[in-house]
Amino acid sequence: MSWGALLALFGYFASLSLVTIGGAIATAPGMHRFLVDQNAWLTDTQFTASIALAQAAPGPNVLFVTVLGWNLAGPLGALATTAGIMGPSSVLVLLASRWVQEHRERRGVKSFKTGLAPLTVGLTFATGCILVLPFLRGAEGITLGAVIVIAATILLNQQTRISPAWLVLAGGVIGALGLV
Amino acid sequence: MSRAAPGSVLEIFRVFNRLALQGFGGVLPVARHVLVDEEGWLDADDFVEMLAIAQVMPGPNVVNLALMVGHRHFGLRGALGALGGMMLMPALLVIGLAVLYGRLASHPIAVNAVRGMAAVSAGLITSTGLKMVPTLFRSPMGRSLALGLAVATALGMLWLHLPLLVVVLVIGGLGWALAWRGTST
């Protein structure tokens, strides 16, 4: 890939950065249009696999953007897409974070933070439900194994201080045995 | 108020690196576990308040949270340390996996294992949402209004399928106004 194309890649992802409210995955349809449909830099399968891979791997899910860049143009491609998607939003967050810290005693700032708590709780819970639902109404109907695993996860996470990482690993083992 | 604080930028890097590498299928549950329960850098209410800002800003929630926690303790250096810890090793790891992927993806045991891990991560994110509920009991707008807005958010997303931006603007705006009314100057 030429330097011009790398720059275009960086520019495109940077232009998406500020609209990734709710996560970069929300802008995936736009990326698909740009990378697969318009420029034919990636195949459909490569695009989907990049998302699946980053979601299964440890770390923030935004890393699917890194995998897309890697598949396009190796290390430089990965750097271009990652820096693009993270750059503008990170600068904005730092500016906001500094402003909030300086004005934390203001009534407007205090009430902003506490007033948004219900939204945060509702969104996090809804995200969990959206991820749980496919297991409850899969192609083959409700899988009892999945229901038990999900219920046990919630119970253990509420009642004990076992690290979530151990629970996920246990889920991997139970899954590998074909029980989910 | 949080009881403990990181001693150096390097410690910030190490802690965020550790929690990112433990976050299969979603870093948020591990982030809460490590920052609130293990390190004590944030208390339960701090976590919800910081996450609230992280969520309404562009960029990934957990990365925004890392930037804000890092920035709170060591300014720009802390923020970059947290960002590096969160992204560097996981990026190398996921690229390594991408290279191996062709061989792994077709293996039924690998597919089943990923399915099991996905089920647990789905349960963990739901559970993290539930763990944040007690913070609403201490809301300046009163517990019933706060709970009502949280339920409205979930219903708006799950049942009415409203666009995220609409939910954020309406519930966020309403919550801000109600909290303003209940906050003394």
Amino acid (1-letter code) at residue B54: A
Helix, coil or strand: residue A65:
helix
Judge whether residue B101 has pLDDT over 90.
Answer: no
Task: Say yes or no: A101 and A14 in one domain.
Answer: yes
Strand partners, A138: A141
Residues 15-74 of A with CB under 8 A from B: 17-24, 26, 49-50, 53-63, 66-67, 70-71
Judge whether residue B123 has pLDDT over 80.
Answer: yes
Q: B31 is written with which tokens?
A: 């982030």
Task: Say yes or no: A102 and A72 in one domain.
Answer: yes
A138 touches chain B (CB under 8 A): no
Task: Say yes or no: B168 and B97 in one domain.
Answer: no
Does residue B169 lie within any of the structural domains?
yes
pLDDT digits (tens, 9 = 90+) for A109-156: 999 989 999 998 998 898 888 878 888 876 666 788 899 999 999 999
Distances (CA, A) of B174 to A46, A117, B9, B50: 42, 12, 38, 18
**Residue located via tokens 């205090």:** A110
Look at residue A22 in the predicted model and tell me its pLDDT.
Answer: 67
A146 touches chain B (CB under 8 A): yes
Task: Say yes or no: B43 and B117 in one domain.
Answer: yes
Separation between Cα atoms, residue B106 and residue A25, nearest integer Å: 24
Q: Which domain holds residue A133?
A: 116-176
Separation between Cα atoms, residue B79 and residue B72, nearest integer Å: 8
In order, the DSSP letters of B14-82 are HHHHHHHHH-BT-SHHHHHIIIIIIS-SS-HHHHHHHHHHHHHSBS-HHHHHHHHHHHHHHHHHHHHHH
**Closest to B53 (Cα-Cα) out of B64, B40, B37:** B64
Q: Which of B2, B21, B24, B144 to mutate to test the interface with A (most CBs of A within 10 A)?
A: B24
Considering only CB atoms, A20 lies closest to which of B59, B130, B136, namely B59
Number of structural domains in chain A: 2
Q: Which domain holds residue B16?
A: 9-132
- CB-based contact A111 B51, cutoff 8 Å: no
Name the phi and psi angles at B5, rounded to 5: -140, 150
Look at residue A1 in the predicted model and tell me its pLDDT.
Answer: 81
Cβ neighbour number for residue B28 with a 10 Å cutoff: 25
Number of structural domains in chain B: 2
Distances (CA, A) of A112 to A107, A180, B69, B89, B150: 8, 42, 18, 34, 15
Q: A105 is written with which tokens?
A: 């005693």
- Which has more confidence, B34 or A178? B34
Judge whether residue B136 has pLDDT over 50.
Answer: yes
Task: Say yes or no: A92 and A123 in one domain.
Answer: no
Contact predicate A65/A25, CB 8 Å: no
Considering only CB atoms, A128 lies closest to which of B61, B122, B141, namely B122
Task: Say yes or no: A18 and A93 in one domain.
Answer: yes
Does residue B3 lie within any of the structural domains?
no
Task: Say yes or no: B108 and B35 in one domain.
Answer: yes
Task: Say yes or no: A85 and A171 in one domain.
Answer: no
Task: Say yes or no: A94 and A120 in one domain.
Answer: no
Among A106, A139, A160, residue at a domain's last position? A106
Task: Say yes or no: A50 and A122 in one domain.
Answer: no
Alpha-carbon dihedral angle through residues B32, B36, B39, B40, given to the nearest 10 degrees: 160
- Which has more confidence, B174 or A71? B174
Task: Say yes or no: A100 and A140 in one domain.
Answer: no
Considering only CB atoms, A90 lies closest to which of B83, B115, B177, namely B83
Separation between Cα atoms, residue A122 and residue B6, nearest integer Å: 30
Contact predicate A132/B126, CB 8 Å: yes
User: Average pLDDT in the A86-97 region?
Assistant: 95
Task: Say yes or no: A81 and A146 in one domain.
Answer: no
Task: Say yes or no: B43 and B71 in one domain.
Answer: yes
Does residue A111 lie within any of the structural domains?
no
Task: Say yes or no: A29 and A86 in one domain.
Answer: yes
Helix, coil or strand: residue A138:
strand
pLDDT digits (tens, 9 = 90+) for B37-94: 999 999 999 999 999 999 889 999 999 999 999 999 999 999 999 999 999 999 999 9
Amino acid (1-letter code) at residue B10: L
Among B90, B114, B132, residue at a domain's last position? B132
Residue burial B44-81, b: 16+ Cβ < 10 Å; e: rest: ebbbbbbbbbbbbbbbbbbbbbbbbbbbbbbeeebbbb
Model confidence at B102, in pLDDT bands (50, 70, 90)? Answer: low
For chain B, the average pLDDT equals 90
Look at residue B105 in the predicted model and tell me its pLDDT.
Answer: 66
Does residue B1 lie within any of the structural domains?
no
Task: Say yes or no: B127 and B166 in one domain.
Answer: no
Q: B115 is written with which tokens?
A: 């399915």
Model confidence at B185, in pLDDT bands (50, 70, 90)? Answer: low
Could you tell me the maximum CA-CA distance found in chain B, to the nearest angstrom?
61
Does residue B29 lie within any of the structural domains?
yes
User: Average pLDDT in the A160-180 region?
Assistant: 90
Instruction: Round to the nearest angstrom and report the end-to-end CA distance of chain B.
Output: 20
Task: Say yes or no: A72 and A120 in one domain.
Answer: no
Contact predicate B70/B80, CB 8 Å: yes
Does residue B156 lie within any of the structural domains?
yes
Contact predicate B119/A150, CB 8 Å: yes
Among A106, A127, A161, residue at a domain's last position? A106
pLDDT digits (tens, 9 = 90+) for A7-56: 999 999 999 898 877 677 777 878 888 898 888 998 887 787 787 778 77
Task: Say yes or no: B111 and B149 in one domain.
Answer: no
Considering only CB atoms, B116 lies closest to which of A23, A107, A171, namely A171
Give the single-character DSSP code of A36.
I
Does residue B175 lie within any of the structural domains?
yes
Whole-prediction pTM value? 0.85
Judge whether residue B1 has pLDDT over 60.
Answer: no
Task: Say yes or no: B68 and B113 in one domain.
Answer: yes
Q: Which of A50, A76, A123, A144 to mutate to test the interface with B (most CBs of B within 10 A)?
A: A123
Separation between Cα atoms, residue B98 and residue A13, nearest integer Å: 20
User: Average pLDDT in the B121-141 region?
Assistant: 92
Does residue B4 lie within any of the structural domains?
no
Does residue B18 lie within any of the structural domains?
yes
Task: Say yes or no: B106 and B153 in one domain.
Answer: no
Among A106, A135, A158, residue at a domain's last position? A106
Judge whether residue B2 has pLDDT over 50.
Answer: no
Task: Say yes or no: A13 and A64 in one domain.
Answer: yes
